[in-house]
Structure 1
């Protein structure tokens, strides 16, 4: 990965091995610390999400300049957009170049990244829109939310509803006993799960085709990890409030 041993030299090779070994020990130690109660969640997951987020932010705002043969360009998509608008007389052509430039991050890649992140974080987007416009039909199709006794909002309708949350919150279905609820839901849950899996797969492939920064799989993984940390943080906050800490 780092080159031929004859070209990099034995000394450099040993330094690389030592660096990777020490870095691995640090990562594992931090992961153990988080899991032993000195933090929230998994350290490995946190490092993965941080790395992906860092990559996205860097590709969007990197001030590094690169000579591509057409002159000096900024690596960051957003900085390159403003640089092209300022330095080019033809503003329309400057915008097109910022949107579709090759071999460097462009605005289209960044837009695909943002779109993928929003779609994969359906709960957050649905809850935010429902709080703003609860009567809008499109928002209600996306998800309907209701405040529970614990103060948390739970999905009770729309695309965001799930069977586990129905059972966890002791909700019942009209015309069916609680013991029969699982049999009724089993008619729909496998289809919904399969369709959801296909949607996630399609979203990942489309994101990669559109050149999303961090890859579609990386973005979905990062969003999932961040949401899990958010849920863990809210749970810890609620528990501390309940015990008066």
Structure 2
């Protein structure tokens, strides 16, 4: 039995969500999606039982954006274990270290089940490291033995965080199996970005400095808010947010079209559209996951080794120089950090872009095989997969390089200018909103035209 088979067999013994029968209406599915979103927001504000009151984390922390997490609450781990588990399995399969054809429905089922088991294991591991490292309590000397909390309190926190990860998995399964629309992972990321944008505009803590742009403007209208220190939201970031949202909407509508024809339907020509942003927001998402995991590991390492560890200092400094600055002032205060952040993110974006194209079956070889299987051909080119691959490579690889650089530049520039929700968050939010718009339009068409549903083989 292989690793995937073992993990899948474990998942088969874990309670899951059954597919609905019959298929709910669109409005009912939207209602269930809203309920899942409300549950996430509630969990993001329910503090963990047995820990001291936590300080509110920064709304622009990359862990909060990528992992949809909330410090000191049931959503402390957020979707981190789920996306990390899925990413690891996809990389292993894409690198052929695990032999699996994800186009096969049974293989896809095993992959999903294995991801669920691995996500639960990651959740238990991260929760255990938080508890062992005395993350939520004070300690003297060794955090393992000198923690102010007893082992009963620590085990209680581990149980709460692990159960929260399991609930997130169930909510994601619930939406993806037909009770709702889209996936809970995307929904929670969008909610986290939206919360960060609202906090940047309206955030205010009584008795303290006005964090948000509007409260700061009301409190002292005579002060220029073009740039604010300490990473606080400013007018430059607000204008950058609007500009990059408009730019992304425009870029996502651009297509590169390849002319095709069908031998069975002589004289009928069509075009296969390739998105100009061929890799969409995947490269920057993968970069964000990597950096967020590095930040998370730095926290775990600090809890276990102690804050004065030399190894931790070097590691934390490395992570600091590849994490985004917050706004123009922070970017200018440390130009070296800004430069290393920009270069590292652009390089990683390109690497992850090409990696994703190979893993996801978007490379010229797989696309050529899809054209042949669908009975299409490019005019003037014989229906030979190798010849088609050569033609498609002239489109796909330049698009991969260009789109990876573009999304990387947008994310880097938005962070340097202090865009609300972070550059990564804006990229993800715009892409998720576009996906939801497409899915809702599709589902609406199926309900409006039942004949179309039968032609597509959808259940009634």
Using structure 2 for the length normalisation, give the TM-score.
0.37
Structure 1 portions without partners, runs of 5+: 68-72, 86-90, 127-141, 145-153
Instruction: Identify the residue that residue 241 of structure 2 maps to in structure 1.
Output: 113
What is the aligned length? 201
Distance in 1 (CA, whole Å) between partners of 2:162 and 2:406 is 39
The RMSD of aligned alpha carbons is 3.7
1:100 aligns with 2:227: yes
Residue 74 of structure 1 and its aligned partner are, at CA, apart by 1.5
Structure 2 portions without partners, runs of 5+: 1-134, 140-145, 257-270, 279-366, 452-459
Alignment match of 1:211 (pick from 413, 418, 421): 418
Q: How does 1:73-92 map to 2 (within 5 A)?
A: 73-85=209-221, 91=222
Distance in 2 (CA, whole Å) between partners of 1:19 and 1:191 is 47
Distance in 1 (CA, whole Å) between partners of 2:382 and 2:429 is 36
205-214 or 113-122: bigger deviation: 113-122
Using structure 1 for the length normalisation, give the TM-score.
0.65
Distance 1:204 1:66, change over 3 A: farther
Q: Is the 8 A contact 1:64 1:76 kept in 2?
A: no
Q: Is the 8 A contact 1:109 1:211 kept in 2?
A: yes
Q: How does 1:153-168 map to 2 (within 5 A)?
A: none
2:421 partner SS = coil
Alignment match of 2:399 (pick from 173, 192, 211): 192
Deviations 1:97-130 (A, max 9, x none): x221212222222332333333233357x5xxxx
Distance in 2 (CA, whole Å) between partners of 1:157 and 1:27 is 33
Residue 37 of structure 1 and its aligned partner are, at CA, apart by 0.6
Distance 1:65 1:188, change over 3 A: same
1:99 partner SS = coil
Instruction: Identify the residue that residue 64 of structure 1 maps to in structure 2.
Output: 205
Distance 1:156 1:37, change over 3 A: closer
Q: Is the 8 A contact 2:245 2:430 kept in 1?
A: yes
Residue 51 of structure 1 and its aligned partner are, at CA, apart by 1.3
Distance in 2 (CA, whole Å) between partners of 1:118 and 1:7 is 50
Distance in 2 (CA, whole Å) between partners of 1:217 and 1:121 is 15
Give the structure with the larger helix fraction: 1
